[in-house]
């Protein structure tokens, strides 16, 4: 059971931090009754960090921040800064939207 828990935690951590994946795509054809490799392509995919997974790890207290590399810490910092900026922008837009619905001031 411990192995499964660790694998789930590792997957959650990779999702929170994002990662680069390399995938090999191969195409085969039959020539003279035998399968022959016709084309091989290596595709690199960048998976962006997931804020929900990051938030869960940080709030649950299971993430050991001392185990992160400098690059991972900087990426985490950027994501948190972006999250804060989005929340500020949403509050500002919400406040602007509510200005038209306020009753006029009387003096």
> Is 95 a residue whose pLDDT tops 80?
no
Average pLDDT of span 62-72: 71
CB 74 within 8 A of CB 65: no
Query: Is it the case that residue 27 has pLDDT exceeding 90?
Result: yes
In this prediction, residue 105 carries a pLDDT of 57
CA 17, distance to chain mean position in Å, is: 6
Higher per-residue confidence, 12 vs 100: 12
Candidates 59, 81, 45; CA nearest to 12 is 59
Q: Identify the sign of the CA torsion 52, 46, 5, 79.
A: negative
CA distance 26 to 37: 7
User: Is 0.75 surpassed by the pTM of this model?
Assistant: no
Look at residue 101 in the predicted model and tell me its pLDDT: 52
The secondary structure of residue 67, as a DSSP letter, is G
């Amino acid at each position: 059971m411990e192995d499964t828990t660790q694998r789930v935690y590792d997957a959650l951590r990779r999702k929170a931090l994002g990662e680069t994946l390399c995938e090999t795509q191969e195409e085969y054809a039959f020539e003279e009754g035998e399968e022959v490799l016709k084309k091989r392509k290596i595709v690199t995919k960048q998976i962006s960090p997931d804020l929900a997974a990051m938030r869960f790890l940080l709030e649950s207290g299971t993430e050991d921040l001392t185990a992160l590399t400098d690059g991972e810490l900087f990426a985490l910092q950027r994501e948190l800064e972006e999250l804060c900026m989005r929340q500020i922008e949403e509050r500002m837009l919400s406040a602007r939207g509510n200005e038209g619905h306020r009753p006029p001031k009387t003096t």
